[in-house]
Amino acid sequence: MNVHIRIPGSLYTAAIEDLRRPHGFAFERVGFFSTSTAELGADRILVLLTKYHAVPDDHYLRDRSVGAMIGSDAIRAAMQRVLDERLGQIHVHLHEHPGEPRPSRIDLRDTPRVVRSLSSVGPKQTSGYMILSDDGAWAELALPGRGVPATATKITVPGFPFLFLR
């Protein structure tokens, strides 16, 4: 399956700037992208990221065992956006290094639970999680009507310069 994620340049810049901001106690930041999905043909899907949502500082929990732990308020806010806007949500955070990022053991353990919560309130929407790096990206998505998660095959940022993150 060919799954292409497209992030408008201004949205990508806003997300990176937010995710790089220091937090009072968390080692990294978390945000959410809103999604709109189009099926372009047999096994060709385009996921457009339409808005970025920063997680407010008071929605983080103190937990030194992870880079950032968001609480139920942050997850409920994302779930409410799915219901109100009828758009999916992608959980996103940043691994600050060059090259393609990969999910950590903690990412693989914890983030799919958030995605399941998002998908439960918006089964007809695309939700998932994404990891950005200095010059790359990785994402796994829960696509409507499909029982298994799909890894994005292409992630691009149109604009100048046009970026191919995956």
Residue 166 reports pLDDT greater than 80? no
- Which residue type sits at 58? D
Helix, strand, or coil (residue 137) = strand
Q: Is the distance from CB of 89 to CB of 82 less than 8 angstroms?
A: yes
How many domains are there within the chain? 1
pLDDT the model gives residue 163 = 74
Neighbours of 38 (CB within 10 A): 11
Mean pLDDT, the chain, integer: 94
pLDDT in tens, 60-100: 999 999 999 999 999 999 999 999 999 999 999 999 999 99
pLDDT the model gives residue 164 = 84
Alpha helices per DSSP H over the chain: 9-20, 72-85, 105-121
- What CATH number should be reported for the domain holding residue 141? 3.40.140
Distance CA 116, CA 142 (A): 8
What does residue 36 show for φ and ψ, rounded to 5 degrees?
Answer: -135, 135
pTM (2 d.p.): 0.94
Which structural domain range is residue 97 located in?
2-164
Q: Is the distance from CB of 102 to CB of 166 less than 8 angstroms?
A: no
Average pLDDT over residues 137-160: 93
pLDDT in tens, 15-38: 999 999 999 999 999 999 999 999
